[in-house]
């Protein structure tokens, strides 16, 4: 795909100039631009294709609350217990409403309605409040449904700001993500995201449910170092399967902080289904695990 064409698509999308397109036509165009492939919605085979199908045809109203970073906490706590919930320090509609004096020296600000609207404060004395305000306010003005690939659950999430406790594992010296891919309530694979706040690349290492390292990359390179899986793995896997029951597919994310498990978020469309797998055969292999609701049992 021509780089100029990709740039033009991204520019028009950021400006909202593609919002007039129907969801189906937009997804066909986006898929072609991002993956240089024609999107087959009539008989999807790959994982990325099936994610586009789910965006259009699997619109369970509960998904809107499950992607809301504030609302989801109550729902998850009811299912697995509030001991797995990162404490919320406050919730506000506007940045200027935040009472920073009441917050601890370290904290995290997140927008409830998008992906990427996050600011980390490790020291209030050196924290760049102006830069944080610019980033948060920009996120608050953005409807992630339109800019993030027509991910339907985000369309009607109320834009808000939450503050959470800052967390870091004392052994890893970072906050690693353990992201479980669940299909019909069963974990089939996960990836561990490391070096998220470090210098250089973020690393994604994929494993099957028995913790065998899988030979592919998707969006980020593998870590050059061996990744130690915490002894809380089995518990995280069990919790992910509880939270993903009755759903054709969802990714359930957890953190392990000094041996304690915390829920991260639920993601229904990994990378929005527009980042290639290398080698490409894994897009098909993972796609076989995803049974679309009207295609189960040979239908």
82-90 CB contacts, 8 Å cutoff, 24+ apart: 84/239, 84/254, 84/261, 84/262, 84/263, 85/262, 85/263, 86/164, 86/165, 86/167, 86/255, 86/262, 86/263, 87/164, 87/165, 88/162, 88/163, 88/164, 89/162, 89/163, 89/164, 89/165, 90/162, 90/163
Q: How many CA atoms lie within 13 A of 261 on its CB side?
A: 24
Going along the chain from its start, the domains and CATH numbers come out as: 40-84+169-294 (3.30.470), 87-166 (3.30.1490)
CA distance 72 to 263: 10
Q: Give the pTM.
A: 0.94
Position 173 scores a pLDDT of: 75
Distance CA(224)–CA(233), nearest Å, equals 21
Q: Which residues pair with 122 in a beta bridge?
A: none
pLDDT one digit per residue (tens) for the chain, 299 residues: 678 888 999 999 999 999 999 999 999 999 999 999 999 999 999 999 999 999 999 999 999 999 999 999 999 999 999 999 999 999 999 999 999 999 999 999 999 999 999 999 999 999 999 999 999 999 999 999 999 999 999 999 999 999 999 998 887 778 889 999 999 999 999 999 998 876 788 999 999 999 999 999 999 999 999 998 999 999 999 999 999 999 999 999 999 999 999 999 999 999 999 999 999 999 999 999 999 997 544 33
């Amino acid at each position: 795909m021509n780089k100029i064409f990709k740039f033009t698509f991204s520019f028009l999308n950021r400006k909202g100039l593609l919002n007039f397109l129907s969801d189906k036509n937009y997804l066909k165009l986006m898929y072609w631009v991002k993956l240089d492939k024609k999107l087959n919605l009539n008989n999807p085979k790959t994982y990325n294709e099936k994610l586009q199908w789910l965006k259009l045809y699997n619109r369970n109203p509960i998904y809107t609350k499950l992607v809301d970073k504030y609302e989801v906490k109550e729902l998850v706590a009811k299912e697995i217990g509030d001991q797995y919930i990162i404490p919320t320090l406050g919730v506000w509609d506007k940045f200027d409403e935040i009472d920073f004096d009441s917050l601890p020296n370290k904290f995290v600000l997140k927008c409830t309605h998008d992906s990427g609207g996050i600011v980390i404060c490790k020291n209030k004395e050196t924290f760049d409040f102006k830069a944080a305000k610019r980033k948060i306010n920009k996120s608050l003005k953005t409807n992630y449904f339109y800019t993030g690939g027509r991910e339907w659950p985000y369309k009607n999430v109320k834009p808000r700001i939450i503050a959470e406790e800052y967390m870091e594992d004392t052994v890893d010296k970072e906050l690693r993500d353990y992201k479980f891919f669940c299909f019909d309530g069963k974990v089939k694979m996960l990836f561990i995201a490391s070096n998220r706040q470090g210098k250089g690349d973020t690393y994604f290492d994929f494993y099957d449910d028995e913790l065998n390292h899988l030979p592919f990359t998707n969006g980020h390179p593998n870590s050059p170092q061996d990744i130690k899986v915490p002894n809380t793995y089995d518990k995280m896997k069990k919790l992910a399967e509880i939270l993903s029951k009755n759903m054709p597919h969802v990714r359930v994310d957890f953190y392990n902080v000094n041996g304690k498990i915390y829920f991260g978020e639920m993601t229904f469309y990994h990378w929005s289904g527009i980042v290639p797998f290398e080698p490409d055969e894994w897009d098909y292999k993972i796609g076989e695990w995803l049974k679309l609701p009207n295609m189960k049992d040979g239908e």
